[in-house]
Amino acid sequence: MTENVILLVEDCTEDASLVLRAFKKWGITNTLHVVTDGEQAVDYLSGNGRYADRDQFPLPRLALLDLKLPQMSGFDVLEFVRSRHELANLPIIVLSGTKDPTHFEEAQRLGASGCVVKTLDLMELYELIQHLNYFSMASDFNNAAVEWTPEP
């Protein structure tokens, strides 16, 4: 059975905790795997090293990606993902602390599905998640059996 896994690529523990709390508040119970740098993200998405077991680490149906990461930037991760045929349609939402609009423009040019500025109130992320049916139906990552809409 394929899970509708979400991959969070975030090096800041506090920001990762904020996302986890927000998902819980919104009633999103999908499995969330967290990696803390760009190289781990590429390894996870490639199924390399400790991520080779796809039963334990299935391909995600959505990725949330910080841009400023150790080892390999979020921009490099985006380039990697969009260069791989099997990942080319993976919805990726950039979730970054940057307020520089050129960073988000570059992320979108590299294939980000959407960009959200990190704040204590992640309502913009919530609104994007509400539109995930559009993203999943427009990609090879459609799984109609899984509800994405948070419980009321």
Q: Give residue-wise pLDDT tens across range 53-66.
A: 999 999 998 999 99
Domains and CATH numbers, the chain: 6-137 (3.40.50.2300)
| 52-75 b/e (C-beta count within 10 Å ≥ 16 → b) | eeeeebbbbbbbbbbbebeebbbb
Mean pLDDT of the region 140-144: 40
Distances (CA, A) of 145 to 1, 4, 79: 11, 10, 30
**Residue range 73-114, pLDDT digits in tens:** 999 999 999 999 999 889 999 988 887 889 999 999 999 988
Q: How far apart are CA 143 and CA 152, in angstroms?
A: 21
pTM: 0.82
**Highest mean predicted confidence (pLDDT) among 16-20, 44-48, 126-130:** 44-48
Q: Which residue did the predictor score with more confidence, 152 or 125? A: 125
Mean pLDDT of the region 114-125: 80
Q: Which residue did the predictor score with more confidence, 31 or 120? A: 31
Residue 25's pLDDT is 84
